[in-house]
Amino acid sequence: MQNEQDQILNEVTTGEYKFGFYTDIEQDSIAKGLNEDVVRMISAKKKEPEFMLEFRLKAYRHWLTMKMPEWAHLKIPEIDYQDHIYYSAPVQRAKLNSLDEVDPELLETFNKLGIPLEEQKHLSGVAVDAVMDSISVKTTFREALAELGIIFCSFSEAVKEHPDLVKQYMGSVVPYTDNYFAALNSAVFSDGSFCFIPKGVRCPMELSTYFRINAANTGQFERTLIVAEDKSYVSYLEGCTAPMRDENQLHAAIVEIVAMESAEVKYATVQNWYPGNKEGKGGIYNFVTKRGICKGDNSKISWTQVETGSAITWKYPSCILKGHNTTGEFYSVAVTNNHQQADTGTKMIHIGKNSRSIIVSKGISAGVSNNSYRGQVKVLRGADNARNFSQCDSLLLGDKCGAHTFPYIESANHSAIIEHEATTSKIGEDQIFYCNQRGISTEDAIGLIINGYTKEVLNKLPMEFAVEAQKLLLISLEGSVG
């Protein structure tokens, strides 16, 4: 028995993070440190137009006046911002015949991550923008999408090819003054995805961005902008991984979504950044500002997130419900194990009449981790008949972890109806034994319970990803009970 247990334990501890490998590829990196020259250098490397550099410098100068936010229920070790590299790009070594070709080594990297970049090999119906460290490596299905008038490209390209759109929308949802990390990102952001769906177009495939951090000591600061014009529809997916390293790495991203009249945008994230080892060494610090605005009447924005990775997660995908009859949704599963910390939730700001929002948050804590839900529901004066329903559930595995809920509710309109429900439960030994007695192993029993618990959220993901997310949840929790 003892031997067997040791063996299982061994397997679990060695096999815990599947994407921890490192690609040994030449990197074009700048020196560590952050100052105005670095900001200028990034802009120059990306051959950006003047307006971008100005935007970056304004953001940088503003950032200098700001302080790191301390309100989250997180213990964040002091971060030396001079000790990080702010730009690092893999150098494509092989001689390429066309601009569309990608260095085989990079292709291999993304293959290993389960993201083939050759269009014919890819999951049908999913277009991918693959981002490694500071640059976009390849965006698939661009031409096919362009025929419908859809723009799907890396942010860097958008800056050059569609400067007017970028100028019009960048910073319109998350201004650089918004918060500390938004200012930092606005100053040094490197790449990300840009997506524009014209009036009346229903995007026929899932669009996705895959973020990979590869280089050491390097932060990833990406920016994604999605604009959905009147009566358009798009479903967007984001995935992320990083190698296992002993040092903490920074990731501070911004995602902005603009939904015009009757547009619908679904944004899903399966976040699997390296969480650090069992003792809490290493892992990604993930400070992300994601916000969408339902600008036009009858528009809808839906956030779905499955958060399994990162040493620290600080993230609140939000909706500003400005138009009338708009809908904001937030579905979240956040898992923390070992020494991970997560402070995550959402903000729903009701401005338009009959605006509705729904929040379903499922936290799972194991090991000695801490998992907090932080959510704000704010109803402004003019938001007649605004309606919100929030459900915040916490599941504890073992007795050394913590789960916390911090709801903030403000209403300035008497006709608003706001509901908040919260539960906390625990996977007990009794439940495990009951399953065991019916022939179900402990691992499978935890799987059943976790799947049941997270079903409501995972059902919101496109099917292939729901299956992946389910597996990922179980891998993240392996060895946490028993």
Partner 1 sequence: MLVIKDLRVSIEGEEILKGINLEVNAGEVHAIMGPNGSGKSTLAAILAGRDIYEINSGTVLYKGEDLLDKSPEERAKDGLFLGFQYPIEIPGVSMVNFMKTAINEMRKHRGEEPLSASEFLKKMREKKDLVEISSSLTNRSVNEGFSGGEKKKNEIFQMAMLEPQLAILDETDSGLDIDALRIVARGVNNLKSPHNATIVITHYQRLLEYIVPDFVHVLFNGRIVKSGGKELALLLEEKGYEWVRSEEVNL
**DSSP notation for 39-81:** HHHHHHHTT--HHHHHHHHHHHHHHHT------SS--PPPP-G
Binding flag, residue 452, partner 1 (CB under 8 A): yes
Binding flag, residue 437, partner 1 (CB under 8 A): yes
Query: 221 and 191 in contact (C-beta within 8 Å)?
Result: no
Q: Write down the least CB distance from residue 365 to partner 1, Å.
A: 16
Task: State the chain's maximal CA–CA distance in angstroms.
Answer: 68
465-474 as b/e: b if 16+ CB within 10 A: bbebbbebbb
Among 95, 399, 439, 463, binds partner 1 (CB under 8 A): 439
Query: 309 and 275 in contact (C-beta within 8 Å)?
Result: yes
Query: 195 and 236 in contact (C-beta within 8 Å)?
Result: yes
Closer to partner 1 by Cβ: residue 217 or 442: 442
Q: Write down the least CB distance from residue 438 to partner 1, Å.
A: 4
Closer to partner 1 by Cβ: residue 27 or 361: 361
Closer to partner 1 by Cβ: residue 117 or 449: 449
Among 448, 472, 480, 481, binds partner 1 (CB under 8 A): 448
Cα–Cα dist 398/371, whole Å: 14
Binding flag, residue 440, partner 1 (CB under 8 A): yes
Q: Write down the least CB distance from residue 434 to partner 1, Å.
A: 4
Q: How many residues bind partner 1 (CB under 8 A)?
A: 21
Binding flag, residue 331, partner 1 (CB under 8 A): no
Among 78, 95, 438, 463, binds partner 1 (CB under 8 A): 438
Four-point Cα dihedral 298, 303, 304, 306, nearest 10: 180
Cα–Cα dist 293/388, whole Å: 17
CA Rg, the chain, in Å? 22
Q: Residues 134, 137, 140, CA angle at the centre, nearest 5°?
A: 135
Q: Which tokens in the block code for residue 467? A: 């299956």
Among 221, 236, 453, 465, binds partner 1 (CB under 8 A): 453
Residues 394-433 that bind partner 1 (CB under 8 A): 425, 428, 430-431, 433
Closer to partner 1 by Cβ: residue 1 or 99: 1
Closer to partner 1 by Cβ: residue 95 or 438: 438
Q: Write down the least CB distance from residue 338 to partner 1, Å.
A: 24
Closer to partner 1 by Cβ: residue 77 or 452: 452
Type and span of the H or E element at 161: helix 155-161
Q: Write down the least CB distance from residue 335 to partner 1, Å.
A: 15
Closer to partner 1 by Cβ: residue 247 or 444: 444
Environment class of 63 (CB within 10 Å of its CB; exposed 0-12, middle 13-18, buried 19+) = buried
Among 197, 306, 449, 461, binds partner 1 (CB under 8 A): 449
Cα–Cα dist 361/330, whole Å: 8
Binding flag, residue 247, partner 1 (CB under 8 A): no
Stretch of 144-152, 212-220, 408-416, 440-448 contacting partner 1, by CB under 8 A: 440-448
Half-sphere exposure of 428 (CA within 13 A, CB side): 5
Binding flag, residue 106, partner 1 (CB under 8 A): no
Q: Write down the least CB distance from residue 441 to partner 1, Å.
A: 5
Half-sphere exposure of 83 (CA within 13 A, CB side): 7
Cα–Cα dist 400/481, whole Å: 11
Binding flag, residue 64, partner 1 (CB under 8 A): no
Among 36, 37, 421, 444, binds partner 1 (CB under 8 A): 444
Q: Write down the least CB distance from residue 429 to partner 1, Å.
A: 9
Binding flag, residue 9, partner 1 (CB under 8 A): no
Binding flag, residue 435, partner 1 (CB under 8 A): yes
Cα–Cα dist 110/209, whole Å: 12
Binding flag, residue 436, partner 1 (CB under 8 A): yes
Measuring CA to CA, how many Å separate 329 from each of 5, 199, 203, 302, 320?
Answer: 43, 22, 20, 4, 11
Q: Write down the least CB distance from residue 16 to partner 1, Å.
A: 23
Q: Write down the least CB distance from residue 454 to partner 1, Å.
A: 8
Closer to partner 1 by Cβ: residue 240 or 450: 450
Closer to partner 1 by Cβ: residue 74 or 440: 440
Q: Which tokens in the block code for residue 58? A: 């304004």
Per CB under 8 A, residues contacting partner 1 are: 425, 428, 430-431, 433-442, 444, 448-449, 451-453, 455
